[in-house]
Amino acid sequence: MQVRMKATKLAMTDAIRDYCQKKMDMLDKYLGGRIPVINCDLEVEKTVGNQNKGEIFRAEVNLEVPHEILRVEKTEKDLYKAVDKVKEHLEMAIEKYKGKLIDKHKGK
């Protein structure tokens, strides 16, 4: 899957890029080859919370599939954990989308 990545207030290192690409490639098995991905955008950002919380990382994915855009955004204290959570929730969004397609096809 071709993923466009963007980093805000954070340097996009090769390690971060490779990790994000690996996680997004894992989603191919949920798409099953029958659902084409029109566009996939991933953004990681470092935000500064209030003084007690320190740095907070945000990961957001917009996955454009036919007739719908699946969008997931998560924030965590660790960048890699934020990316993991986005992947997990995007898996659920894809399963829900596939369920809607099956129901629509069956005429429910």
pLDDT digits (tens, 9 = 90+) for 4-49: 999 999 999 999 999 999 999 998 888 877 788 889 999 999 987 6
Which pLDDT value is given to residue 3?
92
Report the CATH number of the 4-106 domain: 3.30.160.100
- Check residue 108 and report its DSSP letter: -
pTM, rounded to two decimals: 0.87
Query: What residue ranges do the domains of the chain occupy?
Result: 4-106
* 106 alpha carbon, distance to own chain's centre: 29
> What single letter denotes the amino acid at residue 38?
I
In the chain, beta strands by DSSP E: 4-8, 39-48, 55-65, 68-76
Which pLDDT value is given to residue 1?
79
What token pair was written down for 93? 């969004």
